[in-house]
Amino acid sequence: MTDRHHVVQEAVIGGKRVGAPESFEVLDPSTGQPCALVARCGAEQVDQAVAAARETFETVWRHRSAADRATACRRMAEVLLAHRDELAELETLDTGKPISQAYVDVDAAARYFDFYAGTVQALFGDTLLAQQDLIAYTLREPHGVCGHIIPWNYPLQVTARTVAPALAAGNCCVLKPAEDAPLTALRIGELALEAGFPPGALNVVPGYGEEAGAALADHTGIDHLAFTGSREVGQLIMTKAAANIVPVTLELGGKSPHLVFPDYDPAHDVPLMVRSIVEHAGQNCSAGSRVLVHESVHAGLVEELARVFGALRIGRGGTDPDLGPLISARQRDRVLAYLELGRQAGRLVTGGAAPDDPELAGGFFVQPTIFDDVPPDSRIAQEEVFGPVLSVTPFSTPHEAVALANGTPYGLSAGVWTRDLPLAHWLTRELRASQVFVNNYSAAGGVELPFGGYKLSGFGREKGFEALREYTRCKAVAIAVQPPPVAG
């Protein structure tokens, strides 16, 4: 057990550490052992956090210029990088991901704050054409107090992804991290004060979803809600937001396809496809979990995928393997159940079980797995597994490939692998996804790239300049122009 298991990690509310009547244990996914005690916040602490955010918004933050807010965001980026080692180690402890991936997450979190430090100063309204006796223009104004409920897979990145544009736009935030991985979000709440954000601008209330999360979603003092997580919980969040007439941004998972054509480049393309499904052990909303491949190159691609999968190293995050554990025993067992469904639906190529390495005993590990000839209507091809599980399905024509790609309830990302540019342009228009990558793939990639859902993957956009629009309202102003009376 670490020192964090002996001292309760408290909430950050109004610039102070605030406790709760109870605490809960956080487990290290690599070992299954407790690694931290965290305050179990509920409605009382959420009330305090919303009140603190409201006070800071009304008295301080909404009156700051865009340049001042940009300065705080830029300093936040610098502070995150100054604590790079600490944050990466904490993220790996919390989530089990390989340490090199955790460093990427720290850098990305800093990039979010740096990006919005620059772009918020370009968040202008418009001058509108109106009657001759009227001057009209629009203002972009912050919502007020924003609630953020984030998942356990990328707590560093998603915290920054959601609060950086909100804070830059002039809102104050109350963030509820996932109970499985709350540690880096809590640390960001502390570091925001070091960066110069006023107390109450960013409040972090850890706890269980049905307690702290529900209290935040229900709260009448929230002006905007952002949620990243499962479709089922997203539906509950949306219902609660509807009761209070609160706008929401929802990112609810995916079943992202790769479309592979005969002219793909095996040496360049296959490693990127593999990385897209094994990064953080496949626990990624936009993981490339389906490969749709032209029948003429089907067998060769499966052989190459199996070769690369067979060379992957599984291990504890601190040893920097190719993939680490799943987040919990519950998630491991869920993925193992999908492996049984995969065996019934298609042909097991490689993997298909938990590893039997005694060095990994106690951790929540699953072998990277490929199923071939997977029927497109099977559960393994239709449902989000959230693990290192890849399904392969052949196609014969581009139109069939598009039908297969769009044939799930989800729509987040897609990869296109062809050097035929006219075909690639056509495909980008036909695919129902918010991000389409051609001859590259970065799961939820690019701080600058707008990201969100089609269909049951949700709606609204995070990342890029679009996120600033999500975290502001548009106000129209019309001023009458009256000429002075004519003298005499």
Cα gap 464→165, rounded to integer Å: 9
Which of the following is catalytic: 10, 91, 211, 251?
251
Question: Do the Cβ atoms of 470 and 452 come closer than 8 Å?
Answer: no
Q: Which of 358, 461, 362, 457 is nearest to 410 (CA)?
A: 457
Q: Which of 285, 265, 9, 339 is nearest to 154 (CA)?
A: 285
Rg (CA), the chain: 24
Query: What are the phi and psi torsion angles at 344 (to 5°)?
Result: -75, -30
Dihedral sign from CA coordinates of 96, 97, 103, 104: negative
Q: Is 251 labeled as catalytic in the residue annotation?
A: yes
| Pairing of the two strands 347-350 and 369-372 | antiparallel
Q: Cite the beta strand spans of 119-208 per DSSP E.
A: 127-128, 134-142, 145-149, 172-176, 202-204
Q: Is 172 labeled as catalytic in the residue annotation?
A: no
Cα gap 102→86, rounded to integer Å: 10
Query: What are the phi and psi torsion angles at 446 (to 5°)?
Result: 80, 110
Q: Which two tokens stand for residue 423?
A: 């075909």
Question: Do the Cβ atoms of 371 and 390 come closer than 8 Å?
Answer: yes
Which of the following is catalytic: 41, 146, 172, 285?
285
The H or E element spanning position 231 is helix 231-244
Dump the DSSP string for 347-379.
Answer: EEEE--S----GGGTTS-----EEEES--TTSH
Residues tagged active-site: 251, 285
